[in-house]
Protein backbone atom coordinates (compact mmCIF):
# COMPACT_ATOMS: atom_id res chain seq x y z
CA UNK A 1 0.00 0.00 0.00
CA UNK A 2 2.91 2.35 0.70
CA UNK A 3 4.10 1.92 -2.88
CA UNK A 4 0.76 3.14 -4.23
CA UNK A 5 0.73 6.04 -1.77
CA UNK A 6 4.23 6.99 -2.94
CA UNK A 7 3.12 6.87 -6.57
CA UNK A 8 0.20 9.18 -5.79
CA UNK A 9 2.47 11.67 -4.01
CA UNK A 10 5.07 11.51 -6.80
CA UNK A 11 2.39 12.11 -9.44
CA UNK A 12 1.28 15.25 -7.62
CA UNK A 13 4.87 16.38 -7.05
CA UNK A 14 5.91 15.90 -10.69
CA UNK A 15 3.82 18.74 -12.06
CA UNK A 16 0.25 19.21 -10.89
CA UNK A 17 -0.94 20.78 -14.10
CA UNK A 18 0.48 18.01 -16.32
CA UNK A 19 0.15 14.90 -14.19
CA UNK A 20 -3.08 14.96 -12.19
CA UNK A 21 -5.46 17.29 -14.03
CA UNK A 22 -7.09 16.69 -17.41
CA UNK A 23 -5.72 18.64 -20.33
CA UNK A 24 -7.96 21.02 -22.24
CA UNK A 25 -10.20 21.80 -19.27
CA UNK A 26 -9.94 25.32 -17.82
CA UNK A 27 -8.94 25.01 -14.16
CA UNK A 28 -9.12 27.94 -11.77
CA UNK A 29 -5.95 29.31 -10.21
CA UNK A 30 -7.53 28.72 -6.80
CA UNK A 31 -7.50 24.96 -7.44
CA UNK A 32 -3.83 25.08 -8.46
CA UNK A 33 -3.10 26.96 -5.22
CA UNK A 34 -4.75 24.16 -3.20
CA UNK A 35 -2.58 21.42 -4.71
CA UNK A 36 0.48 22.15 -2.48
CA UNK A 37 -1.79 22.03 0.59
CA UNK A 38 -3.22 18.71 -0.61
CA UNK A 39 0.30 17.36 -1.21
CA UNK A 40 1.43 18.52 2.24
CA UNK A 41 -1.51 16.75 3.90
CA UNK A 42 -0.72 13.50 2.10
CA UNK A 43 2.98 13.72 3.00
CA UNK A 44 2.22 14.61 6.62
CA UNK A 45 -0.17 11.70 7.10
CA UNK A 46 1.68 9.17 4.94
CA UNK A 47 1.91 6.67 7.82
CA UNK A 48 -1.55 7.41 9.27
CA UNK A 49 -3.76 5.17 7.16
CA UNK A 50 -7.08 6.67 8.25
CA UNK A 51 -6.14 10.30 7.70
CA UNK A 52 -4.31 9.67 4.41
CA UNK A 53 -7.35 7.78 3.14
CA UNK A 54 -9.70 10.52 4.30
CA UNK A 55 -7.80 13.43 2.76
CA UNK A 56 -7.15 11.60 -0.50
CA UNK A 57 -10.79 10.62 -0.97
CA UNK A 58 -12.20 14.00 0.06
CA UNK A 59 -10.14 15.65 -2.68
CA UNK A 60 -10.98 12.82 -5.06
CA UNK A 61 -14.72 13.33 -4.56
CA UNK A 62 -14.34 17.10 -5.03
CA UNK A 63 -11.99 17.05 -8.04
CA UNK A 64 -13.09 13.81 -9.75
CA UNK A 65 -14.22 15.69 -12.87
CA UNK A 66 -10.84 17.36 -13.41
CA UNK A 67 -8.46 14.54 -12.42
CA UNK A 68 -6.75 12.64 -15.22
CA UNK A 69 -7.90 9.06 -15.75
CA UNK A 70 -4.44 7.69 -14.87
CA UNK A 71 -4.50 9.53 -11.55
CA UNK A 72 -8.03 8.27 -10.86
CA UNK A 73 -6.78 4.70 -11.51
CA UNK A 74 -4.05 5.23 -8.91
CA UNK A 75 -6.65 6.37 -6.37
CA UNK A 76 -8.87 3.37 -7.16
CA UNK A 77 -5.88 1.02 -6.75
CA UNK A 78 -5.09 2.68 -3.42
CA UNK A 79 -8.72 2.34 -2.26
CA UNK A 80 -8.72 -1.38 -3.09
CA UNK A 81 -5.47 -1.86 -1.19
CA UNK A 82 -6.89 0.13 1.73
CA UNK A 83 -10.06 -1.99 1.79
CA UNK A 84 -7.92 -5.15 1.82
CA UNK A 85 -5.82 -3.66 4.65
CA UNK A 86 -8.96 -2.85 6.70
CA UNK A 87 -10.35 -6.37 6.19
CA UNK A 88 -7.04 -7.85 7.40
CA UNK A 89 -7.10 -5.52 10.43
CA UNK A 90 -10.64 -6.59 11.36
CA UNK A 91 -9.71 -10.27 10.94
CA UNK A 92 -6.64 -9.78 13.13
CA UNK A 93 -8.70 -8.03 15.82
CA UNK A 94 -11.31 -10.81 15.74
CA UNK A 95 -8.58 -13.42 16.10
CA UNK A 96 -7.07 -11.57 19.06
CA UNK A 97 -10.48 -11.30 20.75
CA UNK A 98 -11.05 -15.02 20.21
CA UNK A 99 -7.64 -15.83 21.71
CA UNK A 100 -8.38 -13.59 24.71
CA UNK A 101 -11.75 -15.30 25.25
CA UNK A 102 -10.10 -18.73 25.09
CA UNK A 103 -7.43 -17.60 27.56
CA UNK A 104 -10.06 -16.23 29.96
CA UNK A 105 -12.13 -19.43 29.70
CA UNK A 106 -9.07 -21.60 30.44
CA UNK A 107 -8.08 -19.34 33.34
CA UNK A 108 -11.60 -19.57 34.79
CA UNK A 109 -11.53 -23.37 34.53
CA UNK A 110 -8.13 -23.46 36.27
CA UNK A 111 -9.40 -21.17 39.04
CA UNK A 112 -12.49 -23.33 39.57
CA UNK A 113 -10.38 -26.47 39.70
CA UNK A 114 -8.05 -24.81 42.23
CA UNK A 115 -11.11 -24.16 44.42
CA UNK A 116 -12.06 -27.82 44.14
CA UNK A 117 -14.99 -27.24 41.81
CA UNK A 118 -15.72 -28.90 38.54
CA UNK A 119 -16.09 -26.33 35.77
CA UNK A 120 -19.64 -27.34 34.84
CA UNK A 121 -22.72 -25.50 36.11
CA UNK A 122 -24.34 -28.57 37.65
CA UNK A 123 -21.46 -29.20 40.03
CA UNK A 124 -21.25 -25.53 40.99
CA UNK A 125 -24.96 -25.35 41.93
CA UNK A 126 -24.68 -28.70 43.73
CA UNK A 127 -21.72 -27.41 45.76
CA UNK A 128 -23.55 -24.21 46.58
CA UNK A 129 -26.67 -26.06 47.72
CA UNK A 130 -24.52 -28.33 49.93
CA UNK A 131 -23.04 -25.30 51.60
CA UNK A 132 -26.55 -23.97 52.17
CA UNK A 133 -26.13 -21.11 49.76
CA UNK A 134 -29.20 -21.25 47.61
CA UNK A 135 -31.13 -19.06 45.26
CA UNK A 136 -33.80 -18.50 47.90
CA UNK A 137 -33.67 -15.47 50.10
CA UNK A 138 -32.73 -16.19 53.69
CA UNK A 139 -35.69 -16.51 56.02
CA UNK A 140 -36.04 -14.07 58.82
CA UNK A 141 -35.81 -15.99 62.06
CA UNK A 142 -37.13 -14.42 65.17
CA UNK A 143 -34.43 -13.34 67.51
CA UNK A 144 -34.49 -14.99 70.92
CA UNK A 145 -34.15 -12.67 73.85
**Spatial CA neighbour of 8 closest among 77, 108, 96:** 77
Between vectors from CA 80 to CA 77 and to CA 83, what angle results, nearest 5°? Answer: 150
| Helix (H/G/I), strand (E/B), else coil: 138 | coil
What does the pLDDT look like over 82-127, one tens digit per residue?
Answer: 999 999 999 999 999 999 999 988 888 888 777 776 667 666 666 6
Residue 26's pLDDT band (cuts 50, 70, 90): confident
Q: What residues does each domain of the chain span?
A: 1-90
- At residue 131 the predicted structure's pLDDT band, cuts being 50, 70 and 90, is low
Q: Which residues of 90-113 are buried (b: 16+ CB within 10 A; e: fewer)?
A: eeeeeeeeeeeeeeeeeeeeeeee
Spatial distance between the Cα atoms of 13 and 28, rounded to a whole number of angstroms: 19
Long-range contacts made by residues 98-101, C-beta under 8 angstroms, separation at least 24?
Answer: none
Q: What percentage of the chain reaches a pLDDT higher than 70?
A: 77
Amino acid sequence: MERIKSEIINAIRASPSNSIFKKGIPIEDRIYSEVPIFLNLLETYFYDEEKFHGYLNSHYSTWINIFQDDFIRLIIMYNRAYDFYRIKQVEKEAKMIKMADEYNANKLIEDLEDMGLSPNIGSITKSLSRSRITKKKPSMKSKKK
